[in-house]
Every structure is written in structure tokens, then in C-alpha cells.
Structure 1
Amino acid sequence: MDDSLFTETADGVALVGSRCDDCGAYTFPRQGGCPRCTGSAMVDVPLSRTGTLWTWTVQGFRPKPPYTGTAAYEPYGVGYAELPGELLVETRLTETDPARLRIGMPLRLELVPFADDEQGEPVHTFAFVEDTHD
């Protein structure tokens, strides 16, 4: 897991992005310059842990190298999570069944196992899961 992508908040782990103090644009991952106004007044911010599914697909075949996922490849959902008032984040989805994915469904951030490191310890990445909490 790339620890520079995450921060601990009172509500749990959140992605770290940047917000431009000049124009208010958000970026993920964090950046030193603003892609909207080209300003350099960027501050690190924890991004929302919840959002909605903007669009999605299912990755049904192993991606080309340098993909380093688990040896036993299984299809996985991929989509864009719309974080309210912030931005769209490209993300893995924990759901893989197309019949259960729908645009606008509520999502929340989770850390999920991705692969094992050289010592056999799990490496985690972020994904979004359907948020069934109101």
C-alpha cells in the first residue's frame, strides 16, 4: 500500500488529495500544481470517504504488465466514485456482478487485499463498496 495516498481520520482511512487555495479545484492523487488555474497554492486534504457510483465496468481479463495483482486472477469492478463537492476518483469496486452495480449507488471507501509482498504479507489498495448505511 502506498501510504502517501491515505490518511487516518476520525471516521477511518481516507484518500489524500489536494485542493487549490486559489480556485478550489480538487485533485487525486495530491499534486503540487493546479490543473484548472495552474496555481501552486495546493494544500493536502482528506477526501470524502463516501460518494456515488458515476460509471462502471467489469475488468474481465488480466490487465497487461506491469499488473501485479493476485496470481489467481478474478474479474473485478472498476468505476468512478463521485465524491460530493470534490471530484471523480477512478477506483476498484468490491462488487463484480454487473446486475448489482448501478449508476448513482451510494459508495464508501475500504482498504482491500490486492497482492502479497515478498514476505507473504498482504498488500492493500483502496476500493469502494456499496454503502448500505443511511
Structure 2
Amino acid sequence: MTEVSIQPEFFQLDAGDGRPALVGTSCRSCARRSFPPSSTCSWCGNEQTDTVQLSRTGTLWGWTAVTAAPPGYRGPVPFGFGVVELPADGIRVITRVAVSDPDQLHHGQPVELVADVVHTDEESGATVVSWAFAPTDHQEAR
């Protein structure tokens, strides 16, 4: 079965080491990082940025459960959604949270980047995969 990234410019299924990676940018002027990637620094406005791979580990900052499908969404509900802080990059990322029971989550919980199946494309039959963060004791299930 073929897997495709929901947003290849933001999320790579294999960053060359068999593991997924988020793609961000680093400003050539202030050196701050951003996600999603942008040709303009969201911190200082500089128009020179470089593409970088962001940290795969972080801490859970906030979360909720999405119980009603957003417009255009074709995946299962409920699903976790939240904010993960990537201390090594100095940013917070809005993300899916891959966990079956949101009651098991807590602020500051260590999390890691995983590939999370969203749906199967009806035309191609490919499995569409998004980024998500899961508690570090979570085993990725694709």
C-alpha cells in the first residue's frame, strides 16, 4: 500500500533515516525557527530563510479532542488536537495528537513525532498520512 504525506512541504514520511520529520525554516538574520515553513521570517520579517528539519521530540502544552469532523475532513473522529512545544527549536506547533484516550494526557508530557493515518484517497487508493505527536511510550501504528 502506498503512503503519501498530507502536506509534503511540511511533513516528510522518511527524512532519509526511515523516520518522519517536520520541515520548518530558519531565518538567516535572527536564526529563529518557524513552522510551517515560509520564505519570510515570522519573527523579524527577513526574506531569507533556510529549510530545516525540526526536532522530533517535545512536550505537550495544550490539547483537546475533536469530536465533529471539520469541513472537508475525511478521516475518523474523534481525534486529538493540540499544541506541542519543541524546546530545541524555540517554537510551538499546532498538531494532531495521536492518542486514543485524551484523559491520559497531561501538560508537560514528553511526546514524539509519529506518522498518523488520516484516510485513504479514493482515486489513487493511497493512504494519506499526517504528522502527529504521541506520548513517548506510544508505539506508532501505521
- Report the TM range for the smaller structure's normalisation: 0.7 to 0.9
Q: Which has the higher contact order (CA 8 A, sep 6+)?
A: 2
TM-score scaled by length of structure 1: 0.87
TM-score by structure 2 length? 0.83
Q: 1:50 aligns with which of 45, 57, 62?
A: 57
Q: Distance in 2 between matches of 1:28 and 1:121?
A: 26
Which residue of structure 2 aligns with residue 60 of structure 1?
67
Aligned residues: 129
Q: Percent same amino acid at aligned positions?
A: 36
Matched, 1:80 2:86: no
Q: Report the CA distance shift for 1:11/1:81 in structure 2 as closer, same or farther (over 3 A).
A: farther
Amino acid at match of 1:19: S
Alignment of 1:116-127 (within 5 A): 116-117=120-121, 118-127=123-132
Tell me the equivalent position of 1:108. 112
Using the alignment, how far apart are the partners of 1:113 and 1:10 within structure 2?
Answer: 20
Question: Could you say which residue in structure 1 is the equivalent of 2:44?
Answer: 37
CA RMSD in angstroms comes to 1.7
Q: Write out the 4+ residue segments of structure 1 that deviate beyond 6 Å after TM superposition.
A: none
**Is 1:58–1:96's contact at 8 Å kept on the other side of the alignment?**
no
